[in-house]
Amino acid sequence: MPKPSRTVRIILAWAVVAWFTISVAQAEIVLDTAFPIENQTTRIHVIDEKGGAVANADIEITYRPGSAVSAVYNVGQTGNDGTYVWTPREAGIVTISATWTDADGVEQSNTFNASVKYKPTPIAGIVIMILAGIVLIGGSIERIATLLRSPEPD
């Protein structure tokens, strides 16, 4: 039987490493709401690989408004129940990071990307936009009608 080529052996080795990496259980960061809304509180849950709550995990939030410049805030720690109450400062993409020391004294960390939605549009803003549209369109119609009625100069 012929020996597998070096390329095949390398690919198999990487496949084994990838399988072990994917199959290892990891801690999770879970939010109460799938899409948090700016300036409305939500709860961050940090859960270890065994499904238990992670107490005293340092929570760090990285805001990326418009994905141009990021701002990092160390907001606090989870309580004994593994949760932290968080109020997003602004809408956009955020990265939530949790870092803690496990029972064996090994530092663990995990990250989670979330999309923070804008606050709902206020009704007053919609009414003002509609009124402005009526005024602009009404003025345009009146101006066009005046131009069509005026006689052409000789």
What DSSP string runs through 97-111?
A: EEEEE-TTS-EEEEE
Predicted confidence at residue 70, as pLDDT, reads 83
Cα–Cα nearest to 51, from 27, 21, 24, 15: 27
Say whether pLDDT at 27 is over 50.
yes
Predicted confidence at residue 23, as pLDDT, reads 42
Predicted confidence at residue 12, as pLDDT, reads 72
Say whether pLDDT at 154 is over 70.
no
The stretch 136-143 carries a mean pLDDT of 86
Which runs of E-coded beta strand occur in 6-77?
Answer: 28-31, 42-47, 58-64, 71-77
Give tens-digit pLDDT for 43-52.
999 998 888 8
Confidence of residue 36 (pLDDT cuts 50, 70, 90): very high
* More confident of the two residues 68 and 69: 69
Predicted confidence at residue 10, as pLDDT, reads 79
Phi, psi of 51 (to 5 degrees): 95, 5
Average model confidence (pLDDT) across the chain: 84
Work out the percent of the chain whose per-residue pLDDT is above 70: 87
Specify the range with the lowest mean pLDDT, choosing from 52-61, 110-119, 137-146. 137-146
